[in-house]
Amino acid sequence: MLSPEEWGIVALSLKVGGVAVLATLPIAFGLAWVLARYRFPGRVILDGLVHLPLVLPPVVTGWLLLIAFGPLGPAGRWLESWFGATLMFRWTGAALAAAIMALPLMVRAMRLSIEGIDRRLEGAARTLGASPWHSFWSVSLPLALPGILAALVLGFARSIGEFGATITFVSNIPGETRTLPLAIYSALQVPGGEAMVTRLALLSVLLSLGALILSEWLARRTHGGRQRHGD
C-alpha cells in the first residue's frame, strides 16, 4: 500500500490539520458569535477581514504571513524575543497557514448555527434561574453544537488541502512542511512519480469526501427532528 515516506506525509498532514483546526476553533467561535449577535461600528470590516482568505489568492495570504512572521516581521520578532520560537519553515507555520485559510469556512458554519438558535429559549432559561453564563453553556452552546462539529470537519478538510499559502510561507520541506498536496506537487516534478501521485491523490479524495459527507450529516441534524414545533 503506502511506503513509510508516504505514511509520514499522511501523519504530518493530519497533525497540521488537527492542530490548525483545534487552535482556531475558540477564535472562530468567538468571531462567529460576535458577528451573529452584535451590531457595532466596524462589523462590516471585521466580517470582510474574516472572509478575506476565502477570496484572496492563497499565495498572497502566504506572502502576508511571510512578511508578518518572518525574522524582520513584527509578529516574527515578537515570537522570537518572547518565546525564542519561529514559525518559518516549521510545521507550526504550516498549521498557521492552514488555520488562516480554514477560518472563514469555520466562522461561516458556526455563525449559521448560532443565528439559527431561538433566542427566546435563552430568555426562558433566564426566568428559570439561569445566569447569562449558565444559559450560554446549557442552552446556546448545545444548540450550536451541530454547527461547531460541522465547522471542525470542514475546517479540517480545508486545512489538509492547503497548498498556496503553505508553500509560500513555510516552503516545501520533507518531513516538516510537506503535507499531502505539497507531496503530490513534488512527486509530479519527479520522473516516475506517477504511482505515488495516484496513491496520494486517491487518499486526498477519500479524506475530503469523508469530511463532506460527515459535515453534511451534522448539518442535517441541526434542521432535523429535534426542532421545536408550534409557532
Partner 1 sequence: MAIDIDVEKRRGDRVIAVRFSAGPGLTALFGPSGAGKTSILAMVAGLLRPDRGHIRIGERTLFGDGIDLPPEVRRVGYVFQDGRLFPHRRVRANLTYGYDLAEPADRWMTLDEATLFLGIDHLLDRWPYTLSGGEAQRVAIGRALLAGPEILLMDEPLSSLDAARRGDIMTVIERIRDELKLPILYVSHDRAEVDRLATRVVEIGE
Round the CA-based radius of gyration of the chain to a whole number and report it: 20
Which own/partner contact pairs does 11-16 have at CB distance under 8 Å and 24+ positions apart? 12/91, 12/175, 12/176, 12/178, 12/179, 13/160, 13/179, 13/180, 14/160, 15/91, 15/95, 16/91, 16/94, 16/95, 16/98, 16/159, 16/160, 16/179
- Span near partner 1 by CB under 8 A; candidates 52-60, 104-112, 121-129, 151-159: 121-129
**Is the CB of 38 or the CB of 133 nearer to partner 1?**
133
For position 219 contacting partner 1 by CB under 8 A, the verdict is no
Query: For the chain, how far is it from start to end, CA to CA, in angstroms?
Result: 56
- Answer for which of 126, 185, 193, 197 binds partner 1 (CB under 8 A) is 126
39 scored as a contact of partner 1 (CB under 8 A): no
- Taking the complex as a whole, the smallest distance from the CB of residue 119 to partner 1 amounts, in Å, to 11
Tell me the backbone φ, ψ of residue 176, rounded to 5 degrees: -120, -55
Contact between 136 and partner 1 by CB under 8 A: the answer reads no
Find cell 502566504 and name the residue: 62
Which of these segments, 5-13, 79-87, 122-130, 151-159, binds partner 1 (CB under 8 A)?
122-130
The reply on whether position 125 binds partner 1 by CB under 8 A is: yes
Contact between 191 and partner 1 by CB under 8 A: the answer reads no
Task: Specify the stretch interacting with partner 1 by CB under 8 A; choose among 10-18, 95-103, 118-126, 148-156.
Answer: 118-126
Q: Does 229 bind partner 1 (CB under 8 A)?
A: yes
Integer Cα distance of 231 and 226 in angstroms: 15
Answer for which of 11, 27, 124, 209 binds partner 1 (CB under 8 A) is 124
Dist CA 142 CA 20 (whole Å): 23
Nearer to partner 1, 12 or 218 (CB): 218
The residues of the shown chain that bind partner 1, judged by CB under 8 A, are: 118, 120-121, 123-131, 134, 138-139, 142-143, 225-231
